């Protein structure tokens, strides 16, 4: 008997869908993306190819299915230790009379945003945190903020004193109630901006750019740079960098992946 499943897959417009995803969200074509599209074949089969858009239910569902959601509390803790010890005191000093504005760009299921809430609390200064992502299910999980402990250990990079700001019981953890009023989440497409100009003291974007085309990365970085206050910090992943012309410079030669928005006239 013929392999009708293979024939059905071959008939699906995976190449065209991948091109649409690049235009919609800046996704780079890759074997990983193709494998995710194949697993989402029933969604691909019903996509309206003449009406792509992140707000169309079927395209939104496909974005949710192929978006990478790898995150955890205090992920890449070495960089966050530098942020806590060196950058936050500088940012706090420049935020006299107003709360710190901290952003998790590509927040996935929210652990990074709640990490920022803990860091803001430890800094001893008023703060607010915004998490943005394109995936609706991820944002729902971020809002609920109830996470499994593992395995693997979801809190393996969290200091003992920071665990005091988490309620941990019965194989689950969640942020303490006092953190919740300062954190909000919003659906945005990073490729098209979504943040007010000069509104953020620090933006973390550490698990997004690696999956994007060069043009997509540049567009996102341009939006993020514009959203930083003068003197604000941009924390990127270890393989990411900020090209010239965006008003960003390395925070210092010793701080890999950390960029500073130039001051006015600087």
Cα atoms in the 13 Å half-sphere on the side-chain side of 71: 28
Is position 250 within any domain? yes
Is position 249 within any domain? yes
Which of these, 32, 38, 53, lies nearest to 211 by C-alpha position?
Answer: 32
Listed residues 14, 45, 66: the one ending a domain = 66
What are the C-alpha distances in Å from 120 to residues 40, 100, 103, 129, 247? 39, 8, 11, 9, 25
Report the pLDDT value the prediction gives residue 174, as an integer from 0 to 100: 99
Which of these, 129, 71, 62, 138, lies nearest to 101 by C-alpha position?
Answer: 129
Is position 71 within any domain? no
Report the pLDDT value the prediction gives residue 177, as an integer from 0 to 100: 98
Q: How many domains does the chain have?
A: 2
Is position 266 within any domain? no
Report the pLDDT value the prediction gives residue 7, as an integer from 0 to 100: 44
124 by Cβ neighbours in 10 Å (0-12 / 13-18 / 19+) ranks as exposed
Strand order through the sheet with 228-236? 183-187, 127-133, 100-105, 200-205, 228-236, 258-261, 248-250
Same domain, yes or no, for 24 and 150?
no
DSSP state of 242: P
Same domain, yes or no, for 87 and 167?
yes
Reported pTM:
0.91
Residue ranges in the chain whose pLDDT is less than 70: 1-11, 264-266
117 vs 138: CA distance, rounded Å: 18
DSSP state of 54: T
Same domain, yes or no, for 133 and 52?
no
Report the pLDDT value the prediction gives residue 78, as an integer from 0 to 100: 94
Report the pLDDT value the prediction gives residue 252, as an integer from 0 to 100: 87
Range of the domain at 25: 4-66
**How high does pLDDT run on average in the chain?**
92
Report the pLDDT value the prediction gives residue 241, as an integer from 0 to 100: 92
């Amino acid at each position: 008997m013929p392999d009708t499943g293979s024939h059905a897959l071959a008939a699906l417009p995976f190449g065209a869908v991948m091109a649409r995803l690049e235009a919609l969200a800046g996704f780079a074509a890759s074997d990983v993306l193709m494998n995710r599209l194949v697993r989402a074949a029933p969604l691909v089969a019903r996509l309206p190819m003449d009406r792509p858009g992140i707000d169309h239910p079927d395209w939104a569902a496909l974005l949710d299915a192929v978006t990478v959601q790898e995150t955890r509390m205090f992920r890449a803790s070495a960089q966050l230790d530098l942020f806590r010890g060196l950058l936050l005191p500088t940012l706090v000093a420049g935020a006299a009379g107003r709360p710190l504005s901290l952003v998790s760009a590509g927040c996935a299921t929210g652990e990074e945003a709640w990490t920022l809430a803990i860091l803001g609390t430890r800094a001893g200064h008023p703060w607010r945190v915004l998490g943005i992502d394109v995936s609706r299910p991820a944002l729902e999980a971020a809002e609920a903020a109830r996470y499994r402990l593992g395995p693997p250990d979801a809190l393996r990079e969290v200091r003992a004193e920071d665990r005091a700001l988490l309620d941990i019981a019965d194989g689950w953890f969640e942020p303490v109630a006092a953190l919740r009023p300062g954190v909000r989440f919003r659906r945005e497409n990073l490729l098209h901006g979504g943040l007010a100009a000069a509104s953020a003291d620090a933006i973390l974007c550490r698990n997004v750019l690696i999956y994007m085309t060069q043009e997509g990365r540049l567009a996102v970085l341009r939006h993020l740079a514009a959203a930083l206050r003068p003197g604000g910090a941009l924390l990127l992943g270890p393989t990411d960098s900020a090209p010239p012309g965006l008003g960003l410079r390395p925070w210092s030669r010793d701080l890999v992946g950390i960029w500073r928005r130039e001051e006015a006239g600087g």
